[in-house]
Amino acid sequence: MAHITLENIAHSYTGNPENHEDCALKKVNLSWRNGGAYALLGPSGCGKTTLLNIISGLLHPSRGKVLFDTEDVTGMSTEQRNIAQIFQFPVVYDTMTVFQNLAFPLKNRGRKQKEIEPRVIELAKILGLEKDLHTRAQHLTADSKQKISLGRGLIRKSVNAILFDEPLTVIDPQLKWELRSQLKFLHKKFGFTMIYVTHDQTEALTFADEVVVMYEGEIVQTGTPEALFEKPEHTFVGYFIGSPGMNVCACELQGNQVVIDGYMLSLGRKYPDLGSNSKIEIGVRPEHLRLVPSDREGLPVKIIKVDDIGRHRIVRVVFNNTKFNVIVSDMTELADGNCSLVFDTEHTHIYVDDHLVSGEEL
């Protein structure tokens, strides 16, 4: 078990890390606490898998260092790093039985049969594979194959960390839930450091204590699921987390007032002078907007669409050319298409060039 630190990691598949454009990873600094459960969240192609492969040693970074505790492991092989990794698609050794598959990582490390057997049987029970222990892995369904892959990752007790690369993609939703809670259970029981890569926010938010959001080869925010939701540090985090994502629209700053297309709004904060070249935007979650009848105070908007999704409704409104999504539970007062939009100023944020600017409390 170890504390994992990444120092200035950059990687380019074309081998030229100086050119910022073709970098899969651009200067990543990160540290993972021993025994934590982390999720690495981001859209496809943002460099999640690259980062994971750098930690496990399958890839050597073009620049930067990987530290386990204080030891520099950048040049070490996967085996020396003692890491387990599980991949997106099931990898099983076709000619072996389930038992042999699970025992394979231990056998390769020269463990005794006496030690292997109880461990394999214990793990097979947890994963629900005990019935199939002696069938050939080739004949199983994709679900069971992925369980075997998970099992091979979990079989060793001494690993420094277990890395999951979207491991539940091929598994159907019902089982997904079950396996995810099993992983959480195993995490509590054995205390492995777990790093879980996914592009599914629900998966990330339910699994992890801390979520790292990546976008275009950079880490845009690290934090608890709550922090990501309440206070996104990058407009991308706002978009990506939450359903629907955060409303982001262009605005201007005039002193302490925010101006949206001519409408003045006070957030009760003072922002520094940001210059005229930067892109200034206001971001607010649909959950933090309210609609009130048009005779009350607020941004005068017109309702263009209502989606009823069961528990609540998503209302799409427009102000001049700016559109907002609002989550509304009760629409009885909003009979005609016109109403006023009220901002929850506590949870409304200003972004300059996509990055959060907090401003001072007035």
Partner 1 sequence: MIEKQVNQKAWFMVLPVFLVVAFSAIIPLMTVVNYSVQDTFGNNQFFWVGMDWFRDLLHSERFHDAFFRQVSFSAIILCIEIPLGIVIALAMPRKGWGVPVCLITMALPLLIPWNVVGTIWQIFARVDIGLLGHTLAALGVDYNYTQDPVAAWITIIIMDIWHWTSLVVLLCYAGLCSIPDAYYQAAKIDGASRLSVFRYIQLPKMQRVLLIAILLRFMDSFMIYTEPFVITGGGPGNSTTFMSIDLVKMAIGQFDLGPAAAMSLIYFLVILLLCWVFFTVMSNIGEERSKGGA
For residue 212, which of 199, 223, 196 has the smallest C-alpha distance?
223
The Cα angle at residue 75 between residues 69 and 76, in degrees rounded to 5:
70
Element (H, E) at 142: helix 142-154
Applying CB under 8 A, the span of 20-28, 92-100, 201-209, 238-246 interacting with partner 1 comes to 92-100
Using CB under 8 A, pick the residue from 50, 53, 62, 160 that binds partner 1. Answer: 53
Q: C-alpha angle with apex 198: 194 to 201, nearest 5 degrees? A: 110
Consecutive H or E run containing 332: none
CB 137 to partner 1: min, Å: 9
Cis-peptide into 244, omega within 30 deg: yes
Nearer to partner 1, 196 or 215 (CB): 196
Cβ at position 136, least distance to partner 1 in Å: 9
Phi, psi dihedral angles at 72 (to 5 degrees): -80, 115
Q: How far is CA 133 from CA 154, 220, 330, in A?
A: 16, 44, 54
140 binds partner 1 (CB under 8 A): yes
Q: How far is the CB of 22 from partner 1 (least distance, A)?
A: 17
153 contributes a contact to partner 1 by CB under 8 A: yes
> 11, 48, 145, 234: which one contacts partner 1 (CB under 8 A)?
145
CA atoms of 67 and 55, how far apart (whole Å): 9
**Helices 173-190 and 142-154: angle between axes, nearest 10 degrees:** 10
Could you tell me the smallest distance in angstroms from the CB atom of residue 42 to partner 1? 20
Q: For partner 1, what does the binding mask look like between residues 61 and 90, x meaning CB under 8 A?
A: ----------------xxx---xxx-xxxx
Indicate the residue among 45 and 255 with the shorter CB distance to partner 1.
Answer: 45
Contacting range for partner 1; rule: CB under 8 A; set: 10-18, 104-112, 195-203, 270-278:
104-112
State the residues that interact with partner 1 by CB under 8 A.
53, 56, 58, 77-79, 83-85, 87-91, 93-96, 104-105, 108-109, 138-142, 145, 149, 152-153
